[in-house]
Amino acid sequence: QKEVEQDPGPLSVPEGAIVSLNCTYSNSAFQYFMWYRQYSRKGPELLMYTYSSGNKEDGRFTAQVDKSSKYISLFIRDSQPSDSATYLCAMSAINNNDMRFGAGTRLTVKP
């Protein structure tokens, strides 16, 4: 079993839809949870960062962490075609030192 599991998709939604992306993990030592966005032929860029459990909101994006279930989510409200990218979850036990990534979910938002 991989340390971090993420459905690779692809996921296709119409513009304006709410998107839900999820990851599960097995290592209970993970404390830091990140979502990265990667456009085609580019490096990943940090989108959201959460420490421990709880919710964090940034504009149209909301990250949720449920450590008891070892489950994290990213919600995108009012999705836009510019949100089309691959979204990777990442997590680490020590801040940034040993990030483990999910496989990434490829999202397409159709106009």
Site residues (CB under 8 A) for other proteins?
41-46, 49, 88, 95-104
* Nearest distance from C-beta of residue 12 to other proteins, angstroms: 18
Rank residues 42 and 77 by Cβ distance to other proteins and give the closer one.
42
* Nearest distance from C-beta of residue 38 to other proteins, angstroms: 8
Rank residues 21 and 79 by Cβ distance to other proteins and give the closer one.
21
* Nearest distance from C-beta of residue 104 to other proteins, angstroms: 6
Rank residues 18 and 46 by Cβ distance to other proteins and give the closer one.
46
* Nearest distance from C-beta of residue 79 to other proteins, angstroms: 23
Q: Are strands 54-58 and 4-6 parallel, antiparallel or unpaired?
A: unpaired
Q: Are strands 32-38 and 19-25 parallel, antiparallel or unpaired?
A: unpaired
Residue 84's closest CA among 19, 34, 27, 25? 19
Q: Partners of 33 in the beta sheet?
A: 50, 91
Rank residues 17 and 103 by Cβ distance to other proteins and give the closer one.
103
Q: Return the exposure string of 27-49: e unless at least 16 CB atoms fall within 10 Å of the residue's CB, then b.
A: eeebbbbbbbbbeeeeebeebbb
